Amino acid sequence: MRNLILIGAGGHCRSCIDVIEQEKKYNIIGLIDLKEKIGENVLGYKIIDSDDNINKYVTPENNFLITIGQIHSPVKRIELYDLLKNLKANLATIISPLAYVSKHAIIGEGTIIMHHALVNANARIGNNCIVNSKALIEHDAVIKDNCHISTSAVINGGTVIENNTFVGSNSVVVQYTNIHQNSFIKAQKLAKPEKNIK
């Protein structure tokens, strides 16, 4: 198994850890987060250092995954991705064994495909993306770099999602739509019943 260092130790990191453990391709050797969190443990993995010292861990043997979530803004994930690229670090691509990714699909570096996601034929997903649990990426869809496709979102066939875009939970993007760069699509909330059914 290859060495893996995770950058970011919050809630999204915990979900990523579960996917990584299930994939059984990488051995997590530590987490990087804020200075004040050094020494803490997340699901049994130690926070070993802060963002300021990432360069110390860039070696041919080590791989990295950015495990900071992306809801309000992709800026931090982009900054970290650019830093890792400038340092010539190895970036992991993680695919849950509980997901289905067509052999005819393309998945970029630094991207994670989470549990029960479905990526169909000829779909292309860029670098540094999150395809979250139960998301559906249909045939011929293009998800460009630094995007987060949230839980149970549906990206229909031929759609293009431009860079740095967030697509919220339960959203449905109509086929052959072009979503502009830096877009934010809100999660679709379920309607609340007016009264309880007895």
Pick one of 3.40.50.740, 3.40.50.300, 3.30.2320.50, 3.40.50.20 as the CATH number of 2-92.
3.40.50.20
CA dist., res. 156 & res. 179, Å (int): 12
- With a CB cutoff of 8 Å and minimum separation 6, the contacts of 68 are 7, 8, 10, 12, 13, 76, 77, 80
**CATH architecture of the domain covering 94-189:** 3 Solenoid (2.160)
Q: What are phi and psi of 88, to 5 degrees?
A: 60, 35
Q: Could you state, in order of their start, the residue ranges of all structural domains in the chain?
A: 2-92, 94-189
List per-residue pLDDT tens for the chain, 198 residues long: 999 999 999 999 999 999 999 999 999 999 999 999 999 999 999 999 999 999 999 999 999 999 999 877 899 999 999 999 999 999 999 999 999 999 999 999 999 999 999 999 999 999 999 999 999 999 999 999 999 999 999 999 999 999 999 999 999 999 999 999 999 999 987 655 555 544
Dist. CA 37–CA 30, nearest whole Å: 13
Q: What pTM was computed for the model?
A: 0.93
